[in-house]
Amino acid sequence: MVVRKNISLEQIHLKKLDSLILKHNGNLSAAIRDAIDVTEASLKRYGSVEDAIIGIKFDKKELTGIEESINSGINVLLSRPIFLWMLKWVRGIPFENEKFEDVLDPLKINTISELDKRINDISRESGWNCQISIFSMDDINPVSVTLTIASDNELIREFVAQLAVMFLANYKSLDIDVVHKRATSIRIDLKIREKGAQPVGAINYFGYLKDIMTELRSKEEFWKNLMEIYSAVNYNMVSIYKGNYQDLLACDLPVDAGIFESISKKHIADIPHQDFLKLLKKTEESLLVVDKIEIMNDGINIYHNYKKETAIKKIQEHYISLLRANGHEYEAKYSTTLIVLNHVCCKK
């Protein structure tokens, strides 16, 4: 048989070769060679040109689990930059249980090894490029678990860690014991918690912004305006309890007990002294009444930036009165930037 090497092609044929011609930058010969390779592979699979056309037309690509979930609308596809942006701005906010169970169904995951496999499968299918390893001596009812998450991206590491830890906290009664952070990995040791106890370690580690965001969203306009005011004056503001402001207007020196009693849910005299000192430091620094409070073994250093001596004396008296209301006597001395309070005794 004589093979004629002159090829006659109509425009309709060239149109079908568009993608191959584009691939080879207009080289028609290279495009035809690719088409021949595709034809050869099709003939080997289907046997004839007619069968190949029919088979390819009706063949369906086998979808992965994640592709099926996207087609069904259960999942959506996000670009990596958007995904990382979202992880950044939800950091510190824990999963809601109903949302969490959509990802890790506790009815389908009974063992530690099943949890390990499920999270790794999700990570691989979702393109997180993150590997988790979960180890326990008891696969069903563990008393301790060690999990290691490896990824170059810290946000993804923390996200995957939260998935694993919160599952173990909610369904295996575990809680965080120790967290070890490294450059490209994080290791978390968990241990069984007492019956009826909350997973405080896990909640504090992954949900440290929950209460803040709940409060912020409940009064968005108030917090937006307050932050604008504080930022505009470079935080040169002092917040005080409303009752104390009323006392100041009446020219009385207030004993600022109300705010401490509201936070601690105890009368000021019933707050253990060391707890009161920690609460005093946290509250007064946050309200910007003073710059810094340093708690020593037998005294307190209070750093301030007040310039008028009468004001410094009033601040000194204010703290002595508070400490006395807590049941402890202090002696005081002051300078232009520092008030030193020395513990003298306590009431029996």
pLDDT class of 148 with cuts at 50, 70, 90? very high
Residue-range definition of the domain harbouring residue 19: 11-58
Residue 243: pLDDT over 60: yes
**Is residue 153 located within the same domain as residue 260?**
no
Q: What CATH number did the domain enclosing 291 receive?
A: 3.30.70
Q: Domain for residue 213, yes or no?
A: no
- Using the structure block, give the residue that is written with the tokens 């409060």: 215
Domain count, the chain: 3
User: Residue 48's pLDDT is what?
Assistant: 82
* Separation CA 290–CA 315 (nearest Å): 9
CB 302 within 8 A of CB 338: yes
Angle at 241 between CA 240 and CA 247, to 5 degrees: 95
Q: Which residue has the higher pLDDT, 245 or 186?
A: 186
- 10 Å Cβ neighbour count for 61? 6
Structure tokens at 293: 């409070």
Residues pairing with 294 in the sheet: 301
**Is residue 50 located within the same domain as residue 95?**
no
Looking at 206, 240, 269, which one is the last position of a domain? 206
**Is residue 83 located within the same domain as residue 143?**
yes
| Strand boundaries in the chain, DSSP class E | 131-135, 144-150, 174-181, 185-192, 292-295, 299-303, 328-334, 338-346
Residues pairing with 300 in the sheet: 295, 341
| Strand boundaries in 87-231, DSSP class E | 131-135, 144-150, 174-181, 185-192
Q: Domain for residue 238, yes or no?
A: no
298-334 pLDDT tens trace? 899 999 988 888 888 888 988 999 999 999 999 999 8
Q: Which residue has the higher pLDDT, 39 or 316?
A: 316
CB 52 within 8 A of CB 59: no
Q: SS3 of 149, please?
A: strand
